[in-house]
Amino acid sequence: MGQAVGEAAVRAGLELIPYSFCSSKDSKTKSQIDVGGISVELVGPGQDRDNLIKTLQSQYPNMITVDYTVPDVIHDMVDMYIKHGMPFVMGTTGGDRNRISKEVIESGVYAVIAPNMGKQIVAFQATMETMASNFPGAFSGYTLKVMESHQSSKKDTSGTAKAVVQSFQGLGLNFDVSQIQLIRQPPEQVNVMKVPESALLGHAFHTYQLLSPDGTVTFEFQHNVVGRSTYAEGTVDACLFLAQQVQERAPKTLYNMVDVLRAGAMR
């Protein structure tokens, strides 16, 4: 995902800083990768990241960091951004979201944190939030089934699905996020979720099915994404938005993608 964002940034005419923090496994495999024609050096956890960050902050005073890591290291990464006062955009899911928000707000570090960077999907999420706020209990008594399919390397539950479920709860549905069905096996992804075989390594398919108490009324919402380009483009928009907030020294420091949408900060 990080590479897709880097390529989108290059296409947008932004300056891509040629360094990327990575896992020890990745840094042992190769030392550099090509991102949009730019050679990017991979920096593993055993290397001196603190001094590198200080050097980069001196060379690139308007630097915005993009985080697409894994849930296991999300708190360590947030601690590092706070320690160095690094404005960041985070699309990584997992971790204790309340803890992360609290720490970022208290630190005063500027950040956009969102489980989904896809513009249209974020607009759908915002619409669901508005519906739950304006029509609480509208679906009381209905039953809900939620299925989400991502590439098998994604171990945690979709942050987008969790957010949409929260809106459904506001609409009166008795449903817990633990009931979300994670589809990670290729045969089931193809046969049940209708994921194209060519997209098994990069997709995000979500289905929300609602059934009335008497079984006579059915609602179904779907948002299915093949590839990563829509998330990458949205992430670049978030970077541009955050850079503006930093430049203007906005009193608010923690944002989500709905804030980016409402600001009209989409290209």
> Is residue 150 annotated as part of the catalytic site, yes or no?
yes
CB neighbours of residue 90 within 10 Å: 25
The answer to whether the CB of 125 falls within 8 A of the CB of 164 is yes
* 8-state DSSP, 15: P
28 is written with which tokens?
Answer: 């042992």
Alpha-carbon distances, residue 159 vs 126, 155, 156 (angstroms): 14, 12, 8
Catalytic residue among 150, 203, 206, 223: 150
Say which amino acid occupies 154. K
223: annotated active-site residue:
no
Place of tokens 């001094």: 51
Q: 3-class SS at 209?
A: strand
Q: What is the DSSP letter of 227?
A: S
Comparing C-alpha atoms, which of 80, 79, 74, 26 is closest to residue 54? Answer: 80
Among 28, 54, 84, 154, the active-site one is: 154
List alpha helices for the chain, DSSP H.
Answer: 2-11, 24-29, 49-59, 74-84, 97-107, 119-134, 159-170, 186-191, 229-248, 257-262
Of the candidates 121, 172, 105, 181, the residue with the CA atom closest to the CA atom of residue 146: 181
At what angle are helices 74-84 and 97-107 packed, to 10 degrees? 0
For the annotated catalytic residues, the residue numbers are 150, 154
